[in-house]
Structure 1
Amino acid sequence: MSDLAPSLSQAPVGRIEPGFLVDTDWLAANLDRPDLRLFDCSATMHVDPVIQQRVHPERDAFEAAHIAGARFIDIDAQLSDHDHPVHLMLPPREAFASAMAALGISNDSLVVIYSTGNIWWATRVWWMLRVYGFDHAHILDGGLQKWRAEGRPVATGPSAPPAPGHFTASAPRALVADRQAVLAAIGDAGTRIVNALRPPQYSGAEAPRKGRPGHIASSVNVPAASLLDPATGCLLDDAALRAAFVEAGVTPAQRVVAYCGGGVSASLVVFALTKLAHPDVRLYDASLGEWASDPTLPMQIEPA
């Protein structure tokens, strides 16, 4: 399909925000679209006594119940740079393109992603696609939890292998921040560094999985979970999202660099701000996995 926009506007049921969200009504009405590629990328982060953190793909849960037609993405195994010293980093351009093609994604596909538990595993995949020039990826608002709460059917067992896609990744967009960019942002009035972790992790009251406690110097806290409706798991509406960022001191004129422990939950901050048309939002991909492990990089702990 060479032009997705007209077909999206003609969807008969439900809501779609091109490049951002689809609701469960829209997905149910469009499961048979030939260009649809639906994915569950659920995972959990576990503390490991050796490497201290480990991503566990929730493939068993997927095979127990998933939306019909969905395929599973193992983010750690399929969409990470295993040659990088920091865990779970964005893969290089050609490796990413090969992974997308192997998943059955082509440049004219319409991609919908969901995750059980934490939505930020889905927004992590959305962000990677965005980095490499693909703007037709969407998050299922409320995820599998909302789908099942509405009594919609689920499938079981493994999915069939996809037919290979034809995916070309563009040169990376300026959506990724490295440690030098973060260092330059500290104390810069034109940049706001946003920490997406829970308040006890941000303050330093809770011990981290690795490295030093606390947050990057001068960063503010917008917990990723605070951007969701706790009753439904859906993203807050635009007005509530704007209010959350304004309360944290984020203004439209500022460049934003978001981070967390491993570049996953902060992807929801990036998603929300991009949805609000914030002009310059980047993800510090290495996040505290790199920063908190280097004693030369400035961190702060909030007073008790």
Structure 2
Amino acid sequence: MAHSANLITTDDLARQLGAPALRVFDCTTYLKPGPDGRYIAESGRANYDKGHIPGAAYLDLQADLSDKNSKLRFTLPSLEDLTKAFAAKGVGHGTFVVLYSHASPVWASRIWWMLRAVGFDEVAILDGGLDKWKAEGRPLSTEPVTHPPATLSLRGRPEIFVDKDAIKGAIGDASMLTLNALSHDQHNGAGGVVYGRPGRIAGSSCVPAASLFGPDKALKPIAELRAAFEGVGAAPDKRVLVYCGGGIAATLDAFVLTALLGHRNVSVYDNSMQEWANDPALPMEVG
């Protein structure tokens, strides 16, 4: 498996459960195909209520941690508002946060990346998430948890999220790599859910987020992860801009590059294809 201070095993989390400074969060959202061929976002709260890791609270990305004034889904709020929201959920100075999700690690990595944006680094993702925890027969709880509000005041990293202008500026720049975390079919415009026009941002390469973890939802060995990114030219000296459909899957690519492979100049295009593919002035490619 991959090793990092930002990745925690089920064994390690089990040993730490009940520690006073520990804050565990279930971050799950579900994306379900809608009748128009696009996704419907569904809160993971109902599944959390059926059984979660003991001591874990629930973070609702769409309801509590997204810009309510945006017409696009999951848009990042201001870092000031986001910091306040995290503090209200119990993330603060002196706490250690563990994030997990069910069915895919991308929801945990999205919250990890958002915490990094506000400057909070005492946070790890549970490798394998709820799937691995349950497969190992570990205990679950149906008791709802609310962590006490905390104090949080940090220097943010606004540069780790970018907008469409930064993506436009990267096209044709050999010192930068724009990377698609959607499937190869979506990248090529050959199938899968589309967010507007099919295909990819012009000049971009592809490392699907879903290719980074196995059936147990744990991340693949570090050598395989490194090879996947080296295969598309993601050298450590390049600035890498990652996108997907709505800025969620992209954060798993960004997590692996940053937390596991040591890249220092990685950013996520927050609104991603839900914005880009619906603006005919923005260049796309298929094939």
TM tier, smaller:
over 0.9
8 Å Cα contact 2:79/2:117 also seen in 1:
no
**Could you tell me which residue of structure 2 aligns to residue 32 of structure 1?**
18
**Could you tell me which residue of structure 2 aligns to residue 179 of structure 1?**
164
Provide the secondary structure at the position in 2 that maps to 1:257: strand
Q: Which one scores higher on RCO, CA 8 angstroms, separation ≥ 6?
A: 2
8 Å Cα contact 1:215/1:301 also seen in 2:
yes
- More deviation in 221-230 or 45-54? 45-54
1:282-297 matched pairs, under 5 angstroms = 282-297=267-282
Which runs of no fewer than 5 residues in structure 2 stay unpaired? none
8 Å Cα contact 1:207/1:213 also seen in 2:
no
Provide the secondary structure at the position in 2 that maps to 1:171: coil
Cα displacement (A) at 1:196: 0.4
Cα displacement (A) at 1:137: 1.0
Cα distance per residue 1:190-249 (max 9 Å; x no partner): 11110000111111012644310000001011000111123x211122221110111122
- More deviation in 259-268 or 81-90? 81-90
Provide the secondary structure at the position in 2 that maps to 1:128: helix
**Could you tell me which residue of structure 2 aligns to residue 84 of structure 1?**
70
> Partner amino acid for 1:153?
P
Cα displacement (A) at 1:251: 1.6
8 Å Cα contact 2:254/2:267 also seen in 1:
yes
8 Å Cα contact 1:43/1:57 also seen in 2:
yes
Match 1:268 to one of 252, 259, 262: 252
Provide the secondary structure at the position in 2 that maps to 1:116: coil
Provide the secondary structure at the position in 2 that maps to 1:101: helix
1:1-304 matched pairs, under 5 angstroms = 17-18=4-5, 20-48=6-34, 52-157=38-143, 159-206=144-191, 208-230=193-215, 232-275=216-259, 276-302=261-287
Cα distance per residue 1:75-128 (max 9 Å; x no partner): 000110111232211111221122112211112210000000110000000000
Q: Distance in 1 between matches of 2:248 and 2:255?
A: 11
Provide the secondary structure at the position in 1 that maps to 2:159: coil
> Partner amino acid for 1:264?
I
Of all paired residues, the percent bearing the same amino acid is 43
Cα displacement (A) at 1:50: 8.0
Cα distance per residue 1:162-215 (max 9 Å; x no partner): 221112242334211111110111111111110000111111012644310000
8 Å Cα contact 2:195/2:245 also seen in 1:
no
Q: Distance in 1 between matches of 2:155 and 2:71?
A: 25
Q: Provide the aligned length of Structure 1 versus Structure 2.
A: 285
> Partner amino acid for 1:84?
S
- More deviation in 128-137 or 89-98? 89-98
8 Å Cα contact 2:39/2:193 also seen in 1:
no
Cα displacement (A) at 1:47: 4.1
8 Å Cα contact 2:56/2:145 also seen in 1:
no
Q: Distance in 1 between matches of 2:80 and 2:169?
A: 29
**Alpha carbons of 1:16 and 1:31: their partners in 2 closer, same or farther (altered >3 Å)?**
farther
Cα displacement (A) at 1:44: 1.0
**Alpha carbons of 1:227 and 1:167: their partners in 2 closer, same or farther (altered >3 Å)?**
same
Aligned Cα RMSD in Å? 1.8
**Could you tell me which residue of structure 2 aligns to residue 11 of structure 1?**
none
